[in-house]
C-alpha cells in the first residue's frame, strides 16, 4: 500500500477541523502505540481527539481524498493489536465522545457515544433499575471497543453477547459518509444487516460514533455459587451436565488454584477459599428468591453428584463482590506475575472445554512453559495465557509460536473458532488464515473492499 505520508499541511487541516486537539511527535503518549498486551507497536503520525460525528466525518473525508491511513481508538484495552496504527497516519481518539445521550424507558434503549466506558453504562442503567447484560471483565473498555470486538463477557451463557444488545448504530464510513443502521426498533429485515457486520469488525469497516443499546429490566435477585472440585477435569466436566439439566445460570466461570493465588497476591485480599485445585463460579439471577433458589439448588446438587467438595452460596453484595472482584482481576494478576505474556481466546463447543484445558496442561509440561487459564466454561470461551517469565526473547518467541500452533490446531479439531470475544486484530491473523479456506478469506477481503475501497481504515487487520 502506498499511503500518503503526513505532512505539515495535513496537520494544519486537521487543526482546522479539531482546534487544540491535534497532537504530534512528543505530544503523543507512548501508550497510543500499543494496546493492553503490547505485542505489536507503532506510533501514529498524528493523534486527533474528536468531540463529534461531524469531526470524524470531516477527518475521514480528508483522509479518503488524500489516501491517509486512519485508526480509531477507545481505551486501548484490546489484546490483539486491533487499535495499533501499523501504517502510522492518523489516530482518532474517541474517548472524549463519552456522553450518555438518551435513556428511553418506553423503548428500553440507551443511546450513547462510543467513548462511554462499560462501567459507566452499568452504573447508569442500574440506577434506573435497568440492566445492560454484556459483562466483559475489562470494565474500563469503551462501548465502542466492545461493539467492535463483539465482546461477550461472563453473562453470555444466559444473555448473549454485545451484538445482541446493539439495536442501532451511527457509523462514519471510510469515505466520510455518515450511515445510520438499525434504530430503536426491535425487529429489522430491511436489507443486509450492516449493523451486524460492523459489530465485531474491529474498526476496519467504519467508525462507530453512536450506538443505541437494548436494555432489560434489572433482575431483582442474584446469587453466586463458588464450587470447589478436586480437579479441573471434574469441575469443567460438570458443565455439560448443568446445561443438559436445562438450567440456565447467568454465568459459569472456571478457575484454578494457581490463578486464585495470583489474584490474592495482586489484590492483597483473600479469596473465600483457595484449598481446592479447581472451582466453578456460577451466578443465577431472577425476579424472586424462590425462582433463583429453585435454579441454584438443582445445579448445586448436580455439582455435588459430580464430585464437588462443597458449595459456597454468596447472596450478600459483600461476599459476591469479594469473589467477582477477584475474578475481574485475573488478567491483571497473571500479567503482574510475569515479564510478558500472550493469550489465546479460542471458543469451542461447551462440551469440549474440559478436553481443551487438559490439553493446555499437557502443553505446559511438553514445552516447559507456564500456561495459565480461566474463562467462560458456560459458553466455551477460554482465556489461556502463555507466560514468558525468565525465558530469553528468542526462546520465548519460539515456544510461544509452537504452543499457539498446537492450541489453535486443537481448537480446530474440536470445531472451535480462533476468537470468542477478543477478535483477530493483527496478532491472530495467522490463525484466522489457517482456520478458514482461501474462499472464505477472499470473501472477507471483498466485504472489506465494499466498505473501504482504498483500504485506509485500520489497514492490516483481521483478514488483510
Among positions 142-161, residues that touch its own copies (CB under 8 A) are 149-152, 156-157, 160-161
Task: Provide the minimum distance between the beta carbon of 101 and its own copies in the complex, in angstroms, as a whole number.
Answer: 14
Nearer to its own copies, 335 or 461 (CB): 461
Tell me the C-alpha distance between 429 and 289, whole Å: 46
What minimum distance in Å lies between the beta carbon of 45 and its own copies?
A: 28
In the shown chain, the binding pattern of residues 229 to 268 toward its own copies, with x for contact by CB under 8 A and - for none, equals -----------x--xx-xxx--------------------
**Distance from chain centroid for Cα 332:** 15
418 is a site residue for its own copies (CB under 8 A):
yes
Of 262 and 419, the one with the shorter C-beta distance to its own copies is: 419
Determine which residue in the list 24, 66, 193, 364 makes contact with its own copies, applying CB under 8 A.
193
Helices 353-367 and 393-413, packing angle to 10 deg: 150
Of residues 148 and 314, the one with the C-beta less far from its own copies: 148
Site string for its own copies, 276-295 (x = CB under 8 A): ----------xxx-xx--xx
Selection from 380, 383, 378 nearest residue 332 by Cα: 383
Stretch that binds its own copies, among 47-55, 310-318, 386-394, 414-422 (CB under 8 A): 414-422
Q: What is the DSSP letter of 91?
A: E
Q: Of the two residues 87 and 461, which places its CB atom closer to its own copies in the complex?
A: 461
Euclidean distance between CA atoms 82 and 427, whole angstroms: 8
Listed ranges 119-127, 175-183, 318-326, 362-370: which one lies at the site for its own copies (CB under 8 A): 175-183
Q: Which of residues 70-89 bind its own copies (CB under 8 A)?
A: none
Cβ distance 382 to 376 under 8 Å?
Answer: yes
C-alpha triplet 296, 298, 301: angle, nearest 5°:
105
What distance in Å separates the CA atoms of residue 404 and residue 341, rounded to the nearest whole number? Answer: 12
The answer to whether 436 contacts its own copies (rule: CB under 8 A) is yes
* Helix runs in 206-316, H state only: 232-244, 257-267, 289-305
Residue 188 within binding range of its own copies, rule CB under 8 A = yes
Residue from 339, 224, 322, 217 nearest 282 by CA = 224
List, edge to edge, every strand of the sheet that includes 381-387: 312-314, 221-229, 278-286, 251-256, 370-376, 381-387, 341-344
Binding mask 86-105 for its own copies (x = CB under 8 A): ------------------xx
**Is residue 192 close enough to count as binding its own copies by CB under 8 A?**
yes
Amino acid at each position: 500500500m502506498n499511503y500518503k505520508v503526513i505532512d505539515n499541511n495535513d496537520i494544519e487541516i486537521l487543526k482546522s477541523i479539531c482546534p487544540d486537539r491535534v497532537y504530534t511527535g512528543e505530544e503523543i503518549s507512548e501508550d497510543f502505540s500499543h494496546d493492553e498486551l503490547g505485542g505489536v507497536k507503532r506510533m501514529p503520525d498524528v493523534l486527533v481527539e474528536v468531540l463529534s460525528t461531524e469531526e470524524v466525518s470531516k477527518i475521514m473525508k480528508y483522509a479518503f481524498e488524500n489516501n491517509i491511513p486512519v485508526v480509531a481508538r477507545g481505551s486501548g484495552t484490546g489484546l490483539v493489536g486491533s487499535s495499533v496504527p501499523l501504517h502510522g497516519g492518523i489516530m482518532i481518539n474517541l474517548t472524549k465522545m463519552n456522553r450518555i445521550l438518551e435513556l428511553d424507558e418506553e423503548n428500553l434503549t440507551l443511546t450513547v457515544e462510543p467513548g462511554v466506558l462499560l462501567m459507566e453504562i452499568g452504573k447508569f442503567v442500574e440506577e434506573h433499575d435497568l440492566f445492560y447484560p454484556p459483562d466483559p471483565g475489562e470494565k474500563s473498555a469503551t462501548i465502542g471497543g466492545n461493539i467492535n470486538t463483539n465482546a461477550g463477557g461472563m453473562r453470555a451463557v444466559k444473555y448473549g453477547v454485545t451484538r445482541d444488545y446493539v439495536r442501532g448504530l451511527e457509523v462514519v464510513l471510510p469515505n466520510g459518509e455518515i450511515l445510520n443502521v438499525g434504530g430503536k426498533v426491535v425487529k429489522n429485515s430491511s436489507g443486509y444487516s450492516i449493523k451486524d457486520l460492523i459489530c465485531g469488525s474491529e474498526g476496519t469497516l467504519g467508525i462507530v460514533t453512536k450506538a443505541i443499546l437494548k436494555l432489560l429490566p434489572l433482575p431483582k435477585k442474584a446469587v453466586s455459587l463458588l464450587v470447589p472440585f478436586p480437579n479441573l477435569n471434574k469441575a469443567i466436566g460438570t458443565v455439560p451436565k448443568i446445561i443438559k439439566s436445562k438450567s440456565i445460570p447467568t454465568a459459569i466461570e472456571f478457575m484454578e488454584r494457581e490463578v486464585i493465588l495470583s489474584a490474592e497476591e495482586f489484590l492483597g485480599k483473600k479469596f473465600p477459599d483457595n484449598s481446592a485445585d479447581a472451582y466453578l463460579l456460577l451466578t443465577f439471577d431472577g425476579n424472586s428468591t424462590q425462582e433463583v433458589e429453585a435454579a441454584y439448588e438443582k445445579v448445586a446438587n448436580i455439582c455435588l453428584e459430580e464430585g464437588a467438595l462443597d458449595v459456597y452460596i454468596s447472596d450478600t453484595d459483600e461476599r459476591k463482590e469479594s469473589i467477582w472482584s477477584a475474578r475481574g482481576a485475573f488478567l491483571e494478576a497473571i500479567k503482574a506475575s510475569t515479564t510478558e505474556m500472550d493469550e489465546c481466546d479460542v471458543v469451542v463447543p461447551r462440551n469440549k472445554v474440559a478436553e481443551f484445558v487438559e490439553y493446555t496442561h499437557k502443553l505446559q509440561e511438553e514445552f516447559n512453559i507456564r500456561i495459565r487459564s480461566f474463562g467462560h466454561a458456560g459458553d466455551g470461551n477460554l482465556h489461556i495465557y502463555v507466560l514468558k517469565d525468565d525465558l530469553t526473547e528468542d526462546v520465548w518467541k519460539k515456544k510461544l509460536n509452537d504452543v499457539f500452533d498446537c492450541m489453535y490446531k486443537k481448537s480446530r479439531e474440536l470445531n472451535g473458532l480462533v476468537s470468542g470475544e477478543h477478535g483477530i486484530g493483527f496478532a491472530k491473523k495467522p490463525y484466522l488464515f489457517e482456520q478458514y479456506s482461501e474462499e472464505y478469506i477472499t470473501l472477507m477481503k471483498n466485504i472489506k473492499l465494499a466498505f473501504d475501497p482504498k483500504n485506509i481504515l485500520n489497514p492490516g487487520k483481521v483478514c488483510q
